[in-house]
Amino acid sequence: MKKEAPKHVEMKYFSTADNQLLIGGQTAERLAARIGQTPFYAYDRSVMTQKVQELRNLFPEQLHLHYAMKANPMPAVVHHMAGLTDGIDVASMAEMQVALDTGISPGTISFAGPGKTDKELTAAIAAGIMINMESEGEMERIAVLAKTLQLAPIVSIRVNPDFELKSSGMKMGGGPKAFGVDAERVPAMLARCAELELDFRGFHIFSGSQNLKAESLIEAHTKTFELAYRLAQAAPAPLQWLNIGGGLGIPYFPGEQYLPLDEVAANLKVLMQEAATRLPGAEIVMELGRFFVGESGVYICRITDIKESRGETFAVTDGGLHHHLSASGNFGQIIRKNYPVCVANRMTSKMPEKVNIVGPLCTPLDIISDKTPLPPVSIGDYIAVFQSGAYGFTASPRDFLSHPEPKQVLL
């Protein structure tokens, strides 16, 4: 018997009516009319709320949840997330301004990222947000800039751990990295930190992203706490803060399953209990981007032409790689795989046909979905790409070929 091809997980946060996809209760056609165009990204805030609630229900109550806003920095989204989470993690000065505009306490905003400029550091010190220091040099510059401002900057050290987050979509720690200070250099940095007038709070240990394996996350979380205990011995003051990173993934591709959150939660519960005695008073933070917002978003584009080429059908759309680099497979994928897609105005059919959905760019990289069984398509149909709420709009080269920009809406 022929083995069945792996499938995408069910898109459980979306419903249908009359064989049409509903996004925030509305069809793609109606949304396109209200937005005035395709292509567009539509994000459903109720999905974001559900995702945060899912973690609040399962994870230890003392664990603080932060939103890493580079996943989706649309101001309306950041504002919504600010109301749901305990803080926001920013990676640039412009992101910092959006986070401050939400009105949350500056003390709950943290700023990580290599190569922060003097201008960015000055702004962060003046704003009173926490700076996750990425190098010894950055620490020295912060001390000088803070003296001029006569302010005590709130700082933590971003540590490049001496372990990796296994089977991660994107590794951000372990081995030589541009991110953070190697764990073995941290004790010397802490000694210097004590000589400077810095308000030292703790550590930021982020090992990776997009992970769907509970055992890998359990191992990384356990090692993260062990590393923090070890480094805390060299700290000038008891730790007040420990950011254990995030890394929780969402299923994008055929064959991927939801991460078993209960297993990750059970381990965190044990680790947090131990931390309560070994790091008394320290706030423990987890920072997540795509887990909170990735599933809330769809990207909608419209079929403008249909053609046959040597036995295959190509549906050409008004959207593509320039708007949604990740779905095209060119944002960190090693082997291109399809995102879950549908014909939003004709969800099912008894006679699916294989179709290649492509964009209008003059490059063979501009693929939205390859050899995908879908209801027979027509010109004018709406194609929806699911799992598009994170690393979509702002992670795409929107100027490439100078086509019109997509719009974004939060529903």
Ligand X SMILES: *Cc1c(COP(=O)(O)O)cnc(C)c1O
Query: Is residue 45 close enough to count as binding ligand X by CB under 6 A?
Result: no
* Interatomic CA distance for residues 235 and 237, integer angstroms: 5
The least distance separating ligand X from the CB of residue 390, rounded to whole angstroms, comes to: 6
Stretch that binds ligand X, among 115-123, 190-198, 256-264, 281-289 (CB under 6 A): 281-289
| Burial per residue of 378-399, b for 16 or more beta-carbon CB atoms within 10 angstroms, e otherwise | eeebbbbbbbbbbbbbebbebe
Taking CB under 6 A as the rule, does residue 96 contact ligand X?
no
Stretch that binds ligand X, among 39-47, 68-76, 256-264, 299-307 (CB under 6 A): 68-76
Q: Nearest CA to 342 among 19, 39, 32?
A: 19
For position 318 contacting ligand X by CB under 6 A, the verdict is: no
φ, ψ of residue 45 to 5 degrees: the values are -65, -30
Q: Are 325 and 397 in contact (CB under 8 A)?
A: yes
Q: Does 73 bind ligand X (CB under 6 A)?
A: no
Place of tokens 């539509």: 42
Restricting to residues 236-255, name those near ligand X by CB under 6 A.
246
Two structure tokens written together for 377: 């398509």
209 counts as binding ligand X under rule CB under 6 A? yes
Does position 134 bind ligand X by CB under 6 A?
A: no
Residue 326, interface with ligand X (CB under 6 A)? no
Shortest Cβ contact with ligand X: which residue? 289
Q: Which is nearer to ligand X, 65 or 355 (CB)?
A: 65
- Smallest distance, ligand X to C-beta of residue 201, A: 16
Provide, rounded to whole angstroms, the least separation between the CB of residue 168 and ligand X. Answer: 9
- Residue 259 CA, chain-centre distance (Å), reads 15
* Amino acid at residue number 195: E
- Residue count, binding to ligand X (CB under 6 A): 15
**Do strands 283-288 and 40-43 pair parallel, antiparallel, or not at all (unpaired)?**
unpaired
Residue 117 makes CB contacts below 8 A (sequence gap 6+) with none
**Of residues 89 and 381, the one with the C-beta less far from ligand X:** 89
Contact 290, 11 (CB under 8 A): no
Alpha-carbon distance 223 to 217, whole Å?
Answer: 10
**Dist CA 293 CA 284 (whole Å):** 22
Closer Cβ to ligand X, 89 or 366, answer by number: 89
Q: Does 51 bind ligand X (CB under 6 A)?
A: no
Q: Which of 279, 288, 300, 377: binder of ligand X (CB under 6 A)? A: 288
71 touches ligand X by CB under 6 A: yes
Q: Where are the alpha helices (DSSP H) in 233-340?
A: 261-278, 290-293, 325-328
Judged by CB under 6 A, the stretch of 66-74, 94-102, 114-122, 148-156 that binds ligand X is 66-74
Give the footprint of ligand X on this chain (CB under 6 A). Answer: 68, 70-71, 89, 112, 206, 209-210, 246, 287-291, 390
